[in-house]
Amino acid sequence: MIYVALTIISIVIWYQFTFPQLCLVQNNIDRPQALENAKVFIQYHYPDMDIEDYSSASIFEREWVAIRYLQKTLGFKSMQQFVKENNFDLFFWVVRFFKENQKEEFRLSVSATTGQVIAFKHTIDNNAARGDIETTVAQQRIISFFEDQFDFESGQYSPKGDYHSILDNRTDRSYSWKKNSVNIPWSSNKNTGTAKLYSSATISGQEILSFAKNTFEIPEQFNRYLSRSKVIGQNLSMIVKIFISILFFGAVLTLMLQHNHLAMHTTKKFYMVISACAFIMIIGSSLNYFEAIIFSYPTTEAFDSFISRYFLSKFMPALILAVSLLMPGLSGELLHYEQLQNKKEGSFLSYIHSSFFTRPVGDAIILGYLGCFCMLGMQSLISFIGQKYWGVWIEYYFLTNLSTSYIPFLAALAIGFNASFSEEIMYRLFAISWGKKLFKSTFLAAFVASLIWGFAHSGYPVFPMWFRGVEVTLLGLFLSYIYLKHGIITVLVTHYLFDVFWNTSSFLFGTTVTQHFVGAWFVLLLPAIFASICYIKNKKVDIRPLQWNLNKHQKFNLEVLKAFIRQHLDSLKTKDVQIIKKEIIQHGWDVAVVEMAIKDVEQQDNS
């Protein structure tokens, strides 16, 4: 009931402080529609061009330069008003048409709100001929084009300048106009510059090679301020990487010193499956973002060579990440068994030795949903306090991260799965257990683990960048409490839902197509579906004794060793059991076989 009450309060706080900013994304146009609109545009303006002969790729983009500057200088509400008044598109699809080993290509920006082509570029060879045109005629041709295409009102603009590029077989003429009503200063100091809004185009002969409906230009001083701010986050990230490395090598060292620990061997298969799933999801994510890969293809090389090299470059990092999940997991299991044995639900060992399909597991999952709501409320409150008292400024960069993928809900699933398992295993299961062993204090272990986890996120675009570390550290302390109080299942579900929610929030609260909205709900409800299965199956919680599981070869060796020990029982009784184990193991015998042989002989001798 306490968690339910906290959830209600958290929802109110989140709705008040964070929800309005999630409605910013307008994605009425999906990839197929954007591609079709781009083809229609080219076919209309280039009737002799067969665009079907070209390969294509589409990615979802956003005007982060404008979003960043407008939020910082005007605030969120005024930014929305600016977008409306200037018919400014913050989100759009970029569609590229290209051919292998050919320079000529088309690149179009299609508004995600209206589907209109708002920017265009036809890249041609420098030696291609286009004739010439008088400056005044060229300028009037562009103005007429803007009037027809965007209802351009020349009286609201002032010429910014023109640029002529004289090539061997043509002259490219570029013109731009500044909108008179847009002049947003970076600060009260006049010397820091102002942001401006431009319309521009390039014409060669009778062909308009490129145009941009709106280009938002920010002062150089703002960019320098931003670069200085990022340095702090980058420095913090580098320092924290040292501590993350210490954690990882601590996990490896623990495994090396206690590689025969029974808890580790019992959970080894489970963690190998989890690592394999993480590896598959990483590789699958690369395929899911195949459009972005194609979009970056340089036409100066063979396409097959580019794709092969790309996937080979992704293979090793994916493998390393999977292994980096395996090491802390196995080390965390054996340390948890030693240091926090009274909290059996804190590791996977107890579930592996009983069942995952029990009512307590279902309860833990439902509690994970409440924990996620509480985290959202906490984050909103922390961010509100930071914005009010420390000038904190947050970029919700992740709102559109999944739009480029073929199947956004699968991308969200991969992010949620990999982040929750890798981070909760490293920073909760292993780090807290290891910290408990080093510091002899559970609170200090949880605090240090949360601090490292928190400032590992200080490279994210939150300014001042140290604030992100403080925010995530506080959330880490909450997750540590959830972990220590309710176990690994609850904290995993809480973390998974939190990451999935943020990465699908634009599909849930912004304007989007139906399949993306339904897919977002599907990945959010996956844990609840598993919980329903747990309630239906309702298996008995019966934790089996921890023991070695031997294969046929080990069982044969077990009988041989037991016969040997019985034959020499009298002489062996004069030695310590641990010394006997060590001597036999040194002769090449399997640890599991040795321990079970001595245990069986001892039991028979006692009986």
pLDDT digits (tens, 9 = 90+) for 499-548: 999 999 888 887 778 888 999 999 999 999 999 999 999 998 877 766 76
Q: Which residue has the higher pLDDT, 496 or 160?
A: 496
Nearest to 547 by CA among 537, 558, 539: 558
Q: What is the mean pLDDT of residues 93-115?
A: 95
Residue 31 makes CB contacts below 8 A (sequence gap 6+) with: 58, 60, 93, 291
> What tokens were used for 6?
């906290």
pLDDT at res. 233: 81
Exposure string for 575-587, b = 16+ CB within 10 A, e = fewer: eeeeebbeebeee
Query: Measuring CA to CA, how many Å separate 2 from each of 43, 435, 448?
Result: 62, 29, 27
CB count within 10 Å of CB 239 equals 11
pLDDT at res. 492: 97
Q: Give the rounded percent of residues in the chain with a pLDDT score beyond 90.
A: 57
Q: Note the residue count of the chain.
A: 607
Phi and psi at residue 253, to the nearest 5° = -65, -40
pLDDT in tens, 414-429: 999 999 999 999 999 9
pLDDT at res. 398: 66
Query: Where along the chain do its domains lie?
Result: 26-223, 231-265+323-537, 552-606
Residue 397 binned pLDDT confidence (cut-offs 50, 70, 90) = low
pLDDT at res. 607: 61
Residue 108 makes CB contacts below 8 A (sequence gap 6+) with: 38, 41, 42, 94, 95, 117, 119, 120, 121
Rounded Cα distance, 495 and 342, in Å? 24
CB count within 10 Å of CB 200 equals 22
Q: What is the mean pLDDT of residues 144-160?
A: 91
Residue 555 binned pLDDT confidence (cut-offs 50, 70, 90) = confident
Nearest to 197 by CA among 83, 342, 50, 107: 83
Q: Are the C-beta atoms of 265 and 449 separated by less than 8 Å?
A: no
pLDDT in tens, 226-255: 888 888 888 888 899 999 999 999 999 998
Query: Measuring CA to CA, how many Å separate 357 from each of 37, 216, 353, 406, 497?
Result: 50, 55, 12, 33, 20
Maximum mean pLDDT: which of 118-127, 308-317, 388-397, 585-594:
118-127
Residue 343 makes CB contacts below 8 A (sequence gap 6+) with: 336, 484, 487
Tell the residue number behind the tokens 């559109």, with chain if given.
400
Alpha helices (runs of H) in 456-544, residue ranges in sequence order: 466-486, 488-509, 514-537
Q: Are the C-beta atoms of 178 and 197 separated by less than 8 Å?
A: yes
